[in-house]
Amino acid sequence: MTTNDTILIFDTTLRDGEQSPGCSMNLEEKLQVAAQLETMGVDIIEAGFAIASQGDFEAVSEVARQCRKATVASLARAAIADIDRAWEAVRHAAKPRIHTFIATSPLHMRVKLNKSPEEVLEAIQRTVSHASGLCPDVEWSAEDATRSEPDFLARAIETAIAAGARTINLPDTVGYATPETYGAMFRDMINRVPNADLAVFSTHCHNDLGLAVANTLSAVMAGARQVESTINGIGERAGNAAVEEIAMALKVRHDVMPVRTNIVSTEITRASRMVSGITGFQVQPNKAIVGANAFAHESGIHQDGMLKDASTYEIMTPESVGVSTSNLVMGKHSGRAAFRSKLEELGYSLGDNAFQDAFVRFKALADAKKAVFDEDIVALVDDEVLRGHDRIQVKEVEIHCGTGPARAILTLEIDGEEKTAATRGSGPVDALFAAIGELVPHDRGSLERYEVHAVTGGTDAQAEVSVLLSEDGRTTRGRGAHHDTLVASARAYVNALNKLMVKRGRAPVDVAAG
């Protein structure tokens, strides 16, 4: 265990977070997220599972080449081929790490691995030794640690450390633990394992019972000095412990948890919005730290207290997590200098061409809306960034609707060529999606979910739309933002189609004739 009071933040948004159904990211998006994670001060970025696919391998490799400050890790099963592939992917990183794992609970060893405890110990010794011979930084995880027998878990940890692991992760793989039992497990293992002082102990908590952050903090109090988590808590099933909640809990309650992290808290909201925009996973309004209502006060008693002293009802300031306290500061008369200053305040650094495109869209939005809020600008810029490399792009949307059948006239640019279709439907959205289906033939039954959210309040609010498409077991989420809900809908659907093509392996777009 480390003797200092710094908690290392291990972010697995790009690996475990991406395992949420429909939460896929392409290479460009993963590089954007990795860059923001570095800016936010994350210590270790788990970039993916290198052996899972060629796409995963390439993503891990590119993240490894890009990151200069953070350690970059790739996950690997307890298999030589996995470990070699992981090393090949991260070897060019400034600080590479191989993260290998094997199950240690009786249930997993019997049902999933079909191995005896002695065979598992042999696999740990063999694979961790191999990994440490390739990479100076090796992490070993005991999958399903919280349902493992303590005596065997201690033997497994001792074996991994003796073989060269210098980080020991004890994950609550199925979200089974409680704060008391999770903290007690760390305390027991740190005290019991003879060579425990040679390793950093790490947490990895899932949120099946809503206890992921509480369990993580309990383990920190018991001696863990690395925590594994994701932006917005995304991940398999109910998700993971949320980076932003852990970081701010440790910062605000330093009095009872006298430790620190390297997280730049003012970058938290920017990271949250980026991941939400890229994945299409909306952050619930009452989400701690980054939800829309996190710093909102409606009760008269609360408002009175806030006016007298904000600390009466706020235990942290909005500015401390990167939220601007001024909402309405931009309008149709704002110029380029003011717009660039606002983008910098919101955490964006755009090149000249991207800035010009964003400014043109901002002016169009300002003409259409009475008031432009920070949230509008974030949605506008993120929407443009998401579309930067899309092969199919929405050019024009025209809708006719009333008491009869709706009609849509849609123009898409597909691989540089504009195509137009006119279709009818039972409603405007149905007609619009039918037009997309005519221009880009695909199974329209693949649409599993269609959601519309208002970015801000008011009847002129900008709309943010997300859709979920599925094909042959693959799912993708698309997102679109616009002051016209139907344009946002077209953008979201087309964004999902573009991601679906990436999952197909970037095959040529199947375009309808005519």
44-76 pLDDT, tens per residue? 999 999 999 998 999 999 999 999 999 999 999
User: How far is it, in rounded angstroms, from Cα 41 to Cα 268?
Assistant: 10
CATH annotation of 4-277: 3.20.20.70
Per residue in 225-254, pLDDT (tens digit) is 999 999 999 999 999 999 999 999 999 999
Give mean pLDDT, residues 166-176.
98
Q: Strands of 392-400's sheet, edge to edge?
A: 392-400, 406-414, 417-425
233 Rama sector, left if φ>0, alpha if ψ -120 to 50, beta otherwise: left
Q: Please, which pLDDT band fits residue 328 given cuts at 50, 70 and 90?
A: very low
| Helical spans, DSSP H, in 280-323 | 300-308
Q: What is the pLDDT of residue 169?
A: 98
Edge to edge, what strands does the sheet with 447-454 contain? 447-454, 463-471, 474-482
* Residue whose token pair is 């999958």: 143
Under the banding of pLDDT at 50, 70 and 90, the label for residue 511 is very low
**What is the mean predicted confidence (pLDDT) over 460-489?**
84
Q: Which two tokens stand for residue 154?
A: 């201690």
Q: Which residues define the annotated binding site for Mn(2+)?
A: 16, 204, 206, 240
Q: In terms of CATH architecture, what is 388-503?
A: 2-Layer Sandwich (3.30)
Nearest to 107 by CA among 152, 147, 141: 147
Residue 327: band (very low, low, confident or very high) from pLDDT cuts 50, 70, 90: very low
Task: Evaluate if residue 12 carries a pLDDT over 90.
Answer: yes
Identify the band that residue 398 occupies on the pLDDT scale cut at 50, 70 and 90. Answer: very high
- Which segments of 162-264 are extended strands (E)? 167-172, 200-205, 226-229
Three-state secondary-structure class, residue 445: helix
- The least confident of 89-103, 212-226, 482-496 is 482-496
3 or 227, greater pLDDT: 227
Query: How many Cβ atoms are within 10 Å of 454's Cβ, its own excluded?
Result: 14
In degrees rounded to 5, what are phi and psi of residue 335? -100, -175
Q: What is the mean pLDDT of residues 176-196?
A: 98
Which tens digits make up the pLDDT trace of 273-312? 889 888 878 888 889 999 877 876 545 555 566 556 777 7
Q: pLDDT confidence of 513, banded at 50, 70, 90? A: very low
What span, in angstroms and rounded, lies between the C-alpha atoms of 245 and 229? 10
Tell me if 227 sits within 8 A of 213, measured CB to CB: no
Mean pLDDT of 460-467: 84
Cα–Cα nearest to 52, from 29, 25, 20, 75: 75
pLDDT at 370: 65
> Does the pLDDT of residue 162 top 60, yes or no?
yes
pLDDT > 70? residue 91: yes
State residue 171's pLDDT score. 98
What is the residue extent of each domain of the chain? 4-277, 325-387, 388-503
Residue 172 confidence (pLDDT): 98
Q: Per-residue DSSP letters for 5-32? A: SBPEEEE-TTTTGGGSTT----HHHHHH
**SS3 (DSSP) at 422:** strand
Low-confidence winner among 173-182, 314-323, 407-416 (lowest mean pLDDT): 314-323
Predicted pLDDT at 506: 41
- Is the pLDDT at 509 greater than 60? The verdict is no
Mean pLDDT of all residues belonging to the chain: 88
Residue 483 to residue 394: CA distance in whole angstroms: 15
pTM across the whole model: 0.77
> Which pLDDT score, from 0 to 100, does residue 201 have?
98
pLDDT at 505 over 50: yes
The strand pairing partners of 447, in sequence order, are 469
Residue range 427-453: average pLDDT?
88
Share of the chain above pLDDT 90, in %: 60
Angstrom distance (rounded) from CA 87 to CA 74: 8
The distance of Cα 290 from the centroid of its chain, to the nearest Å, equals: 13
CB-based contacts of 348-355 (< 8 A; 24+ apart in sequence) = 348/381, 350/381, 354/384, 354/385, 354/388
The two domains 4-277 and 388-503 share their CATH topology (first three levels equal): no
Which DSSP string corresponds to 241-287?
-BHHHHHHHHHHTTTTS--B----GGGHHHHHHHHHHHH--PPPTT-
- Whether 156 shows a pLDDT value over 60: the answer reads yes
DSSP bridge partners of 242 = 230
Contacts of 187 (CB under 8 A, 6+ apart): 222, 223
Residue 511: both structure tokens together: 């375009």
Residue 389: the pLDDT is: 63
Query: Among 115-124, 326-335, 466-475, 480-489, whose mean pLDDT is lowest?
Result: 326-335
- CB-CB contact of 408 with 436 (8 Å): no
Length of the chain in terms of residues written:
514
Chain segment 14-41, per-residue pLDDT in tens:
999 887 766 778 898 899 999 999 999 9
Binding residues: 16, 204, 206, 240
* Predicted pLDDT of residue 217: 98
